[in-house]
Amino acid sequence: METVLAAVALRRLRVVLREPGIAEQIGASGADVRFHCGSRPCLGRRRKRGQEGQALGRSRGGFSTKIHLKTDFDGDYLAFDLTGGEKADAPQFPVLLDLGPDIKPRAAIGDKGYDSKANRQAARDRGIAPVIPYKSNARNKPDYFPKTLYKGRARIEQGVGKLKRFKRIALRCEKTALNFLSFVHLAAGFILIKSVHTA
């Protein structure tokens, strides 16, 4: 019978072999019972989403994610925020000021990426002294800058370095921003527990 099926067109064979009184089925037959040739998600399942809202972006270094980090002066993590790799640092400064536990810091230390009048004003409005160096092309730079206090920013850089020791964070192995942020929190917890036990 298989050789006959291979030799004769399937449509003609169905007409010959069908029982009398049964109408011929129109549409797909055999193992492939789909009536539509395009692939679609199953009923009840969400459609596939793209990378929008997943804190992914293309920068000079390639496809990446930025972790905006808020720590205390000892370098212990307080809060995180994720953006795409192409996003600027300066717009995230007010967001970082509002994230984390309900404590009021006396100073906010940031690098030149956070340099803007709006950021300095946002810190002053909250009663926080901004310790952000001015860019080299900035106009009307003040004569005094608290360099000794600014040296404490090295602890933040060291905290970022400790996070990047975790391969899943350094390589952004997670597809969604929520999963990636969860691993960032988990890694920060491991680092904090280790520092508590060694102190």
Q: What is the pLDDT along the chain (199 residues), one digit of tens a residue?
A: 444 444 445 555 555 555 555 555 555 555 555 555 555 555 555 555 666 778 777 777 777 888 888 998 888 899 999 998 888 888 999 999 998 888 888 999 998 889 999 999 999 999 999 999 998 888 888 888 899 999 989 998 999 999 999 998 988 888 888 999 999 999 999 998 877 666 5
57-198 has which fold? Nucleotidyltransferase; domain 5 (3.30.420)
Domain ranges of the chain: 57-198
Structure-block tokens of residue 142: 């003040």
What is the pTM (predicted TM-score) of this model?
0.64
* Beta carbons of 168 and 174 less than 8 angstroms apart: yes
d(C-alpha 108, C-alpha 78), whole Å: 13
Question: CA Rg, the chain, in Å?
Answer: 30
d(C-alpha 98, C-alpha 42), whole Å: 41
Q: Which pairing describes strands 62-71 and 77-84: parallel, antiparallel, or unpaired? A: antiparallel
